[in-house]
Amino acid sequence: MELPLTPLEFMRRARRLYAGREAVVDGADHWTYEAFFDRCDRWSAALQTLGVRQGDRVAYIAPNTHGQLESFYAVPQIGAVLVPINFRLSAQEVAYLITHSGATVVCVAETHLDLVEEIRRDLPGVRHFVALEGARHGWDDYEALLAAAAPEPVRPVIGERDLLTINYTSGTTSRPKGVMITHRNAWVNAVGTLLHFPLGVGDRYLWTLPMFHANGWTFTWMVTATGATHVCLRKVDPAQILPLVRDERITALCAAPTVLIGLAHAPAALRDGVPAGVRVLTAGAPPAATTIDAIEGGLGWRITQAYGLTETAPFITVCEPRPEHDALTPAARATIKARQGVELITSGEVRVVDTAGVEVPPDGETRGEIVVRGNVVMAGYFNDPDATARAMGDGWFHTGDVAVVHPDGYVEIRDRLKDVIISGGENISSVEVEAMLLGHPAVQEAAVVGLPDEKWGEAPHAFVVLKAGVTVTPDELRTFSRAQLAHFKTPHSFRFVNELPKTATGKIQKYVLRGGRANLATQ
């Protein structure tokens, strides 16, 4: 009998093989797989008692806690659809997502109860508000409901093309769109990622990546599939990450480039006793070669870069290592590792095409847009057929990312379509300029955007975060830039700021910088 492709199969297998192994660590709390799955089953049964049926949506607003992790099993195994929401959004943004998704139950971490209290009157479709911790008057208590629930839920028949999650995009240029991920999408991405970034029994995975972001890049299921241990982390901070890596014997983690930059520049005292050999999967934005070199050379960790989008479940390419890379210098190897790489074995077909839909030559110079088709591409945008048709109406999902293809077949992103700066008719890659600036010894982070210019139409401008205790002048950065770039690519201005505006997953919000709404403290 054929079985559907679903991450719930990972749960079934782990329940049988790894029942006595440590599954989850959340602060002082530890659970074996047997205890973890018992909690998931009871919460499934509790949700059914609250009236949740197959196809209903259940929203979560929580950092990386055990309760959030349990949602990735308890909600889908009763055929309901999980809606993980970015906990850093404003109250009104959260209200929009809950309403748009049609969620009937909302589960909230203690740290965000006040935020949801602000908008309760605006959520008439929500039947139950559940406090994952710290329940107060007017809230259902998660632990009390779980303890009182039946030990087994009613499990409906689930098809592999049924909806598993609705994950909302960041909405940087318009209202967020709800990406519909199926059981099949998630299963294929999880298995494909494991082929290129293997985990196994005995691995200990640290949750530095938000679980809400593209379902934690499906590591919410991958870690379980292999009998590894989930180590929860509620706040992404180098002062917490590095001690946890040491004390919890962490072997693997995921992190956006901005998180890696913070780790690379952490005080030396935090690095004491931190083991080498930790494997890191990075994605979310093109990392600079200097960042990769700093992590691999400074901490002795090993970085693999993957590329994808929420709409592709999320990964479609990986920068797979090849034997010939071993003979390169660390700097040259880091340059290759900064590329987005080649198709995952399971992701489907990835192309870089020009405006006529023709593949660009693999010359490392000719630019085009990355398009993809295959088993990881979403079912569409929830309740938005027009946006679905625009993104994938021709049978290919159009990513909006501008890239080149190198002679070895490796794809390298040069920019987002909307982030390409056109100055005096010349295209300028903001990613290229940022990577150059990160090569300056005083620069910790940089973002380059195009701003209106009377003469050139628009011109590049840089926002720069300096390393602690280091100074540099705009003229010095301008001289440094002109020594490495064509003069028209050199930023017209340099603004030194304490931090850059970012999403919860570490992506720099360039629309904030372009829109003149950046309320940034100057260094």
**Of 90-99, 165-174, 324-333, minimum mean pLDDT range:** 165-174
User: β-strand 204-206 against 229-231: which pairing, if any?
Assistant: parallel
Contact 153, 45 (CB under 8 A): yes
CA gap 145, 202 in Å, rounded: 33
- List, for residues 436-450, the tens digit of each pLDDT value: 999 999 999 999 998
Domains of the chain: 32-183 (3.40.50.12780), 236-416 (3.40.50.12780), 420-514 (3.30.300.30)
Asked if the bond preceding 257 is cis, omega within 30° of 0, the reply is: no
In the chain, the percentage of residues whose pLDDT exceeds 70 is 96
CA gap 25, 31 in Å, rounded: 7
pLDDT greater than 60 at residue 211:
yes
DSSP per position, 354-383: -TTSPBPPSSS---EEEEEESTTS-SEETT
What phi, psi does 143 have (nearest 5°)?
A: -65, -35
Q: Which stretches within 233-327 are classed as H helix?
A: 238-247, 257-264, 268-271, 289-298
Q: Which amino acid is at 45?
A: A
Identify the band that residue 522 occupies on the pLDDT scale cut at 50, 70 and 90. low
Q: What per-residue confidence (pLDDT) applies to 417?
A: 76
Report in angstroms the alpha-carbon separations of 412 from 43, 225, 317, 377, 519: 44, 31, 10, 20, 32
Identify the band that residue 34 occupies on the pLDDT scale cut at 50, 70 and 90. very high
pLDDT greater than 70 at residue 171:
no
Query: Is the alpha carbon torsion for 385, 157, 73, 111 positive or negative?
Result: positive
Contact 7, 186 (CB under 8 A): yes
Q: Mean pLDDT over residues 4-30, rounded?
A: 98
CA gap 206, 223 in Å, rounded: 10
Q: What per-residue confidence (pLDDT) applies to 172?
A: 46
Q: When comparing pLDDT for 86 and 225, which is higher?
A: 225
pLDDT greater than 60 at residue 517:
no
In eight-state DSSP terms, residue 508 is B
Q: Mean pLDDT over residues 393-398, rounded?
A: 96
pTM for the model: 0.87
Q: When comparing pLDDT for 419 and 467, which is higher?
A: 467
Q: Mean pLDDT over residues 423-442, rounded?
A: 84
pLDDT greater than 70 at residue 376:
yes
**Count of CB atoms situated within 10 Å of the CB of 357:** 12
Identify the band that residue 516 occupies on the pLDDT scale cut at 50, 70 and 90. low
CA gap 367, 359 in Å, rounded: 10
Identify the band that residue 327 occupies on the pLDDT scale cut at 50, 70 and 90. very high
Q: What per-residue confidence (pLDDT) applies to 303?
A: 95
- List, for residues 57-109, the tens digit of each pLDDT value: 999 999 999 999 999 999 999 999 999 999 988 898 899 999 999 999 999 99
pLDDT greater than 80 at residue 494:
yes
Identify the band that residue 523 occupies on the pLDDT scale cut at 50, 70 and 90. low
Long-range contacts, stretch 475-482, CB < 8 angstroms, 24+ apart: 477/437, 477/440, 477/443, 480/437, 480/440, 481/433, 481/436, 481/437
Q: What is the 3-state secondary structure (H, E, C) of 376-391?
A: CCCCEECCCHHHHHHH
CA angle 58, 10, 29 (to 5 degrees): 70
CA gap 507, 434 in Å, rounded: 14
**Count of CB atoms situated within 10 Å of the CB of 6:** 23
pLDDT greater than 80 at residue 128:
yes
Q: What per-residue confidence (pLDDT) applies to 1?
A: 80
pLDDT greater than 60 at residue 250:
yes
What are the structure tokens assigned to 181, written together? 């991920």
